[in-house]
Amino acid sequence: MYSLMMLRTGYQFGGKNPSAGLDCSGLVTHVYREAADMRLAGNAASLAREGREVAVDQLRTGDLVFFNTLGRPFSHVGIYLGNGEFVHAPNSRGQVRVEKLTTLYWSQRFEMARTLLN
């Protein structure tokens, strides 16, 4: 999947370009533009209004997973990879990486998943 090509890309708040760094929504918008020719815009909260909600047990590769990491709804987004894993741009102390939805930190902060794909 195209998103895995972004692994180890540096974090940049508001970043939408891999060469300068990406934030979580920048990763999503870049991957969807390049891999699916879909133009998305906005932050994690605005992306949470796109597509349709899907149950966790119905997640498919490419679906978006949303978390409350800053004490406000939908403050973080990642792209589901399959096998309970997602790729995301975590924060200024990290790079784009893969995580498990089942880890304590992420499972406690998970809010919902949405699909933009048919």
The residue annotated as part of the active site, out of 22, 24, 47, 65, is: 24
Say how many Å lie between the first and final Cα of the chain, rounded.
17
24 has catalytic annotation? yes
Which residue is catalytic, options 15, 88, 89, 113?
88
Of 28, 51, 52, 53, the residue nearest 41 (C-alpha): 28
Element containing residue 44 per DSSP (H, E): helix 44-47
User: Would you say 27 and 3 are in contact if contact means Cβ atoms under 8 Å apart?
Assistant: yes
Strand ranges, E, within 21-117: 21-22, 52-54, 64-67, 76-82, 85-88, 97-100, 110-115
**For this structure, is 30 an active site residue?**
no
Looking at 26, 76, 89, 106, which residue is catalytic?
76
CB 29 within 8 A of CB 112: no
Is 76 a catalytic site residue? yes
* Residues with active-site annotation: 24, 76, 88
